[in-house]
Structure 1
Amino acid sequence: MTDSPLGASFHVDGTEFSVASRHAAQVDLCLFPKTGGETRLPMQRGPDHVWRVKAQAPAGTAYGFRADGIYAPDRGLWFDPAKLLVDPYAVILDRPFRYDPALGVQGVDTSDLVPRALVTDLPELPLTPAHWSKGGLVYEVAVRPFTKLHPDIPEAQRGTVAALAHPAIIAHLKALGVAAVELMPITAWVDEQHLGPLGLTNGWGYNPVAMMALDPRLVPGGVTELRETVATLHAEGIGVILDLVFNHSGESDRFGPTLSMRGLDNLTYYRHAPDLTLINDTGCGNTIDCAHPVVERLILDTLRHFVRHAGIDGFRFDLGSILGRDAWGFRREAPLFKAMAADPWLAGRLMIAEPWDIGPGGYQLGHFPADFLEWNDRARDDIRCFWRGDGGKVGALAAALSGSSALFAHHGEEATRSVTFIAAHDGFTLADLVAYRGKHNQANGEDNRDGHNENHSWNNGAEGETSDAAILAARRRDLMALLSTLFASRGAIMLAAGDEFGRSQKGNNNAYAQDNAITWVDWQAADPVLLAHAQALAALRARFGVFQDTAFLTGQGDVAWLRLDGATMTVSDWDNPQSDSLVMVLSTTDGKTGAPTRLAIAVHRGDAPAPLRLPGRWLDALASNEPAPDIIAPRSIAFLIEAA
């Protein structure tokens, strides 16, 4: 394939339309003038299997493609000229996707059902360094739920990307020390087939069709809205990461809709078994073939597009192991990874992998290239299990706090690439983690069968909502301990939006189809005590750079592990399944004074207060340097700074 641009390339003397399809017999460009109707222009196949045509189509012209050829799904061929197809390189769509059964029926024309791409002429931004600090706080945001109920945001702006630039949101982010917001998918998606009959819609966006096109429901102002929001956040020192889905598309399995890549060249864009059935390493019906040169180019061009035209600082890859898969499995040295690292627009961007998929050998935590950070679900589970009270977890907690070196040193690396988190969009919220022993997904219409069954959760004596003051106090105490653990973890950490003040989904741990009060963040119900605690932790993390340092701890003067009585932890302490406490003492620099000092993080999971006796003089780092307590409260973490 040549390096000439794909998609719609606008020029003053006409627009060049290009689309890749090796197996089509004919591809037509379909133009939709504002006066109505459809004009079809035959495209010409080049030796590189790219179809091209030039047309008088000014910016704003609506277009799509139709591809003809053999229709034989058993042979991996889905050519049907009745299907209007969205350009894989579309940047702006004139409407959102809407699922209709006719989208999957051969011979039924879908021109009135499928969105049309719009010709665009976008300005290119200068290449600047990414706004990101390696060990910073990533704040995971579902755009619509995050701002839908915010009282300070104008109603017309709620639920959109533009709302993230509102002063109230920026103030909130800065008080938490957010280094970058990670936006859950904002590119165009289609609802899953089963949701309509249940009266549900996909509210998360993890079912994409057009990889570059922004969904008009979330970004009605298109690329301009995204670019302006990013610029506003950059001015406040906050980066922007896009959560992108390159592992599957909304065209789903054999019975799914034909919307874009399937109709253009199914055999090129999707992975197939030897018998030409679709491989499903994603659990979503299909698997995008990231090892194919056409798809590799589409992914690279998508990433470049968001950097060049919107100033995006980085990307999180859903089911990221798919990016490194070929016919032989996952490869850390996959050509796509190498191309990303070598590209001048992408080198230096933050890359975060969800390091697993459901295919053979799909769990790859710790095995991505050195320039990737990785979601650390091992730390997530170990932290949850420790605070739940599972025995023998003190060592696992220490590993999570110190950056999980055993997981990230496989390839000779000397620094952690962990993104430590305790809760994310997928699973319980932090508040539900301490209020529900089991999932409550009945609203999803699948008889509570969907979602994870093992959440390592607990309910403090009552399942779900309660008015019992003692139980509510116990839950707040546990939430404060969990937040303290997260903010005390070394390297990059991630917080799901709203977890800092007690956001609940009523026990739903798979709320992707709940675009309603279940997922909408209730700002009026925010717990002020919990929020103040999170903000104090953020200030502490900013004050002591040791938390954002990513180098592995060596034990050679940089860290000491003590018991609450000040004695050094022994092998028997680590191995004792009844151990419920430890003190991590870190050598660091005090950002307030610039002087070297030591910081102690005392962790106590026990249900009763315990004496705290550290050698030397210590101050309470969270309480304006008042004298350190000599008793540590049950199920809590104390932060102490050594007195000068």
Structure 2
Amino acid sequence: MEMDSDFRLMPGKLYPLGAHWDGNGINFSLVAPSAESVVLCLFDDTGEEERARLPLPVQKDGVWCGYLRGGKPGLVYAYRVSGVHSPRNGQRFNDRKVLLDPYARQVVGRYKGQDEFLDASDADTGAIALKGKVVHEPYDWGGDEPPRIPMAQTVLYELHLKGFTKRHPGVPENLRGTYAAMAEPVILDYLEKLGVTSVEILPVFAMADEARLVRAGKANYWGYNTIGFFAPENRYWSGRPGTTPVSEFRDMVKALHSRGIEVILDVVYNHTAEGNEDGPMLSFKGIDNAMYYHLRPDNPARYENWSGCGNSLNLGHPRVLQMVMDSLRYWVEEMHVDGFRFDLTPSLARDKTDYSINSAFFRAIAEDPVISRVKLIAEPWDLGPDGYQLGNFPFGWLEWNDKYRDTVRSFWLHQGPSLGEFAQRFAGSDDLFGVRERLPAASVNYVTSHDGFTLRDLVSYNHKHNEANGENNRDGTDHNLSWNCGEEGKATLQEVISRRNRLRRALLATLFFSQGTPMLVAGDEFGQTQNGNNNPYCQDNELTWLNWEETDMGLLEFVRRLIELRKTYPALRQNKWFSPDHTDFASTGTGVRWLSPTGGDKLGSSWSNKRLFSMGILIRASDSPRSCLILLNASVQSIIFRLPPGRWKVLSDSSGTFTADANLEFQVLLPGHTIMLAVP
């Protein structure tokens, strides 16, 4: 092609990586140690017309760089990288494929599953490739300070940014489903009144939909398919004049902080949207395939697939780890986020194949003065060797505790675990986290998450109903531990409706009264349903968008009250381990006593008896003069509980049997499927 003679590259600086404007021009820097040459491609504003190809003039220590004097913010660019094309040896260089800068702050264009992106295609992707846009956006944070919620006081609220706001009647229609919607007063008021302290937002990094979904007319709604680790996803930007994805994201964070709410991002560093050897070449594959990805030692033409998504990013390589750490610091320092939930975290800690708590990734986090001080949450499993690592993370990390989830579901819906198993999960899972000086808050307790049934569906369906996903109902887990309470799907019998309502409240109360860090999924507090779909990752529609018009106000008020009680009574959120033999309670009046319905605390063989489903829990924190009495009855029949001495005021009752502030003495008849909280 004919190049524009106005464009010339001067020698540039190796760092910082990416494209940065200094007031006089733009410095471009790209890590590509195995490349033979790197060409900077400049495009028009749409990213469709290639206007210049400029070889980067400097290469040192595997970094290529150049300086474009007179270049300005807003410039659209990408790269063509040349080298040996030998997939069987792990390299896939192809200068006919235009590649996105891994450090791009904004992505231009959208991948639509075109065959031209495949390595086997000779087509040039210049007109359709993803490009970066040079971003330089000073921002007035106005004294914004992170809320820094203490771990023991944290209440996580998992939400999908679009799904949470898309159908909200109080949000202007042109803002629904965007970063801007999250900053609307009606949304902030709701979150503040609900009482959650930290929103955990599903992935918002620049992403690409899988080709098979595009062909089926669907999208990767959840967003676990990252292609740009420094760029906010464009589809959540309102496009309003005078704003950009970066500015609108910052406005959202600033607005949430103004209400004392932390922003935690669900991040996907374990794989990219380029998939396996048959996937598209969008960025990393063509820049340095053997560096960025774990390749199979016996066949480097293929990828290790510990993510289940086709490839696994190689954080065992210093340059890839550097990119991840640079990304994390960017989101904390320049976007002011308060923490991260890491998808499939064990993949990040595999320097080669085996998971290690002493991996380069964990060491880098621990030594970093910025990242080590924010909230770090692990999804403690992946699909690699020994991929289930619950409880085996470093000090300071929190972990999604699926053993808590399964035990609580089984206790209330199937009377499965013993009282001892339930008590262990309720008290913070010391068998998992009571090592390496970790505390109960390390356990992220949850009953539901984005992945699986909603709470309403958990008590409405015995089986998944994922036909809408187009995979013949084969996708999604069959291990739901759900119960339809007598009718599959929408209930017509009042007995079933009543049972479902009682069980939902019992599950929610258990969550907020347990020791550890509770996580509530957006919509569960008011009765959101997905019609039995337990894997709606590709359903970007009204199936997954929260239906605010059908809010169950009674349930919503019940959940608000639960969160308020947790905040009010320190006994419900202690961040220390209980003495296993009651010696702390006997000597100091603090800690826990596990009570039988008859009032005794010598449970003996009852701990392992799987035919007993009722118990009392008396808890008192050392910094509070008031005890909390929790009574649980997961059986169908009502049970008489003998109460500890004194009068007890009912604060919460999942069955709705007792009036607010009712006073009890001596004993109480507790209905089935009920949990009650009372104080002296």
Deviations 1:263-296 (A, max 9, x none): 1111000001212121111111100001111111
In structure 2, what is the Cα distance between the partners aligned to 1:3 and 1:405?
48
The correspondence of residues 29-108 of structure 1 with structure 2, limited to 5 A, is 29-34=40-45, 36-55=49-68, 56-104=70-118, 105-108=120-123
Q: Which residue of 2 aligns with 1:619?
A: 649
Specify whether residues 127 and 326 from structure 1 end up closer, same or farther in structure 2 by C-alpha distance, changes over 3 A only: farther
* Structure 2 Cα separation of the partners of residues 196 and 222 of structure 1: 23
TM-score (normalised: structure 1)? 0.96
Matches within 5 A, 1:133-212: 133-135=150-152, 136-212=154-230
Question: CA distance change for structure 1 residues 174 and 127 in 2, over 3 Å: closer, same or farther?
Answer: closer
Shift of 1:339: 1.6
Match of 1:257 among 250, 275, 280: 280
Q: 1:162 to 1:280 in 2, by over 3 A?
A: same
Q: Distance in 1 between matches of 2:676 and 2:246?
A: 45
Which region of structure 1 is more displaced relative to structure 2, 579-588 or 354-363?
Answer: 579-588
d(CA) in 1 for partners of 2:14 and 2:109? 30
Alignment of 1:352-367 (within 5 A): 352-367=377-392
Residues 120-135 of structure 1 aligned to structure 2 (within 5 Å) = 120-123=135-138, 131-135=148-152
How far did 1:342 drift? Answer: 2.0
Alignment of 1:405-554 (within 5 A): 405-554=430-579
Say if 1:96 and 1:188, in contact at 8 Å, map to a contact too: no
Please tell me the residue identity of whatever aligns with 1:133: P
Native 8 Å contact 1:588 1:599 kept in 2: no
What displacement does 1:595 show? Answer: 5.4
Structure 2: which 5+ residue stretches go unaligned? Answer: 1-12, 239-243, 586-590, 653-658
Moved over 6 A (4+): 124-127
Structure 2 residue corresponding to 1:631, chosen from 660, 665, 669: 669
Tell me, yes or no, if the aligned pair for 2:26 and 2:71 is still in contact at 8 Å: yes
Alpha-carbon distance in structure 1 between the residues aligned to 2:147 and 2:362: 19
**1:415 CA drift (Å):** 4.4
Candidates 578, 581, 587, aligned match of 2:611: 578
Contact 1:317/1:354 (CA < 8 Å) preserved in 2? yes
Distance 1:514 1:439 in 2: 15
The whole-number CA distance in structure 1 between the counterparts of 2:354 and 2:567 is 41
The one of 201, 218, 233 equivalent to 2:256 is: 233
Structure 2 CA distance for partners of 1:129 and 1:340, relative to 1, 3 Å: farther
Query: Using the alignment, how far apart are the partners of 2:547 and 2:144 within structure 1?
Result: 38
Would the aligned equivalents of 2:108 and 2:133 in 1 still touch at CA under 8 Å?
A: yes
The aligned counterpart of 1:334 is 359
Q: Distance in 2 between matches of 1:452 and 1:341?
A: 34
Q: Partner of 1:117 in structure 2?
A: 132
Cα pair 2:399 2:444 within 8 Å, conserved: yes
* Distance in structure 2 (CA, Å) of the matches to 1:49 and 1:130: 40
- The number of aligned residues is 637
Is the Cα contact below 8 Å between 1:382 and 1:393 reproduced in 2? no
Displacement, 1:150? 0.5
1:221-275 deviation digits (Å, cap 9, x = unpaired): 3121111111111111100001100001110011100001111111000001212
Question: What displacement does 1:575 show?
Answer: 1.5
The offset of 1:569, in angstroms, is: 4.3
Q: Separation in 1 of the partners of 2:598 and 2:557?
A: 30
SS in 2 for 1:330: coil
Give the aligned residue type for 2:304.
I
Query: Hey, what does 2:289 align to over in structure 1?
Result: 266
Whole-Å separation in 2 of the counterparts to 1:404 and 1:3 = 48
- The separation in 2 between residues aligned to 1:491 and 1:550, in whole angstroms, is 7
Matched, 1:384 2:385: no
Offset of residue 175 of structure 1: 2.3
Aligned partners of 2:415 and 2:634 also within 8 Å: no
**C-alpha separation in 2, matches of 1:211 and 1:547:** 38
The separation in 2 between residues aligned to 1:21 and 1:102, in whole angstroms, is 23
Instruction: Find out whether 1:246 has 2:269 as its counterpart.
Output: yes
Cα distance change of structure 1 residues 188 and 342 upon mapping to structure 2, 3 Å threshold: same
Local SS of the residue matching 1:28: strand
Partner of 2:23: 12
Q: Deviations over 1:458-478 (max 9, x none)?
A: 110111123322212211111
TM-score, with structure 2 as normaliser: 0.91
What amino acid does structure 2 have at the position aligned with 1:584?
Answer: I
Q: Aligned partners of 2:432, 2:50: CA distance in 1, in Å?
A: 58
- In 2, Cα distance between the equivalents of 1:572 and 1:66? 70
Q: Counterparts of 2:313 and 2:211 in 1: how far apart (Å)? A: 19
Aligned mates of 2:454, 2:281 — CA distance in 1: 35
Is contact 1:385–1:393 with CA below 8 Å preserved after alignment? no
Q: Distance in 2 between matches of 1:614 and 1:516?
A: 50
Distance across 1 between alignment mates of 2:174 and 2:252: 16
What's the CA shift for 1:568? Answer: 1.1
Q: CA deviation at 1:98?
A: 2.9
The offset of 1:328, in angstroms, is 4.3
Aligned to 2:8: none
Aligned to 1:559: 592
Q: 1:405 to 1:429 in 2, by over 3 A?
A: same
Q: Is 1:640 the equivalent of 2:678?
A: yes
More divergent stretch after superposition (498-507 vs 569-578): 569-578
Provide the rounded CA distance (Å) in 2 between the counterparts of 1:198 and 1:289. 31
1:26 equivalent to 2:64? Answer: no
Give the Cα separation in 2 of the matches to 1:595 and 1:439.
45
Contact in 1 for aligned 2:571/2:620 (Cα 8 Å)? yes
Distance 1:632 1:228 in 2: 49
Candidates 620, 632, 646, aligned match of 1:603? 632
Distance 1:506 1:418 in 2: 30
TM-superposed CA distance for 1:106, in Å, is 3.0
Deviation at 1:414, TM superposition (A): 4.7
- C-alpha deviation, 1:197, in angstroms: 2.8
**Preserved CA contact (<8 Å) 1:559 1:586:** yes
**Cα distance, 1:73 vs structure 2:** 1.9
Q: Post-superposition shift, 1:198?
A: 2.1
Asked whether the equivalents of residues 24 and 71 of structure 2 are also in contact (C-alpha less than 8 Å), the reply is: no
The letter for the 2-side match of 1:223 is V
User: Could you say if the C-alpha distance between residues 332 and 595 of structure 1 is closer, same or farther in structure 2, counting changes exceeding 3 Å?
Assistant: closer
- Partner of 2:66: helix, strand, or coil? strand
Structure 1 pair 347–205 and aligned structure 2 pair: CA distance change class (3 A): same
Which stretch of the first structure deviates more once superposed, 422-431 or 161-170?
Answer: 161-170
d(CA) in 1 for partners of 2:17, 2:147: 26
In the alignment, what sits opposite 1:281? 306
> Contact between 2:145 and 2:257, CA under 8 Å: does it hold in 1?
no
Q: What's the secondary structure of 1:268's corresponding residue?
A: helix
Q: Contact 1:404–1:416 (CA<8 Å) still a contact in 2?
A: no
